[in-house]
Amino acid sequence: MREIVHLQAGQCGNQIGAKFWEVISDEHGIDPTGSYNGDSDLQLERINVYYNEASGGKYVPRAVLVDLEPGTMDSVRSGPFGQIFRPDNFVFGKKLGTVYGPGLVLCYNKPSLLDYRHHRQTVGIGYSKERVAMSLN
């Protein structure tokens, strides 16, 4: 079975992604706490495409949420399905998302910020996500 790593970037990507996880969770029988409440063998058979099973029978999305500012991440976390993400799924900067110039200069002068594999917060996210990072180069 395939494993899909969902990458959400920026305010728009994270807002669309939050809705995506609501829909996918409903289709797979996952409630906002990450528990399986479905009634279909097919749901369980394919649940590992988008989710990793964590302790206590909870399911965690296989996702990386990226933004240059924490505000969008806070709104995702406080949304209906925000609690199903692990804290290390969120990668963000500090107050540069709405200021085009400094954000561009920062990314231009520090290209390692754009290199997914070298960002310290992303190192422990998981082997599947590391494979995605390598294929992005």
CA distances in angstroms from 33 to 18, 28, 42, 84, listed in the order given: 15, 13, 21, 6
pLDDT at 130: 46
Among residues 87, 96, 82, 97, the alpha carbon closest in space to that of 122 is found at 87
pLDDT at 67: 87
Q: What is the pTM of this model?
A: 0.69
pLDDT at 93: 76
pLDDT at 123: 38
pLDDT at 5: 92
Among residues 104, 94, 22, the alpha carbon closest in space to that of 63 is found at 22
Residue numbers of the chain with a pLDDT score lower than 50: 113-137
Q: What's the chain's average pLDDT?
A: 78
CATH fold of the domain at 6-136: Rossmann fold (3.40.50)
pLDDT at 70: 84
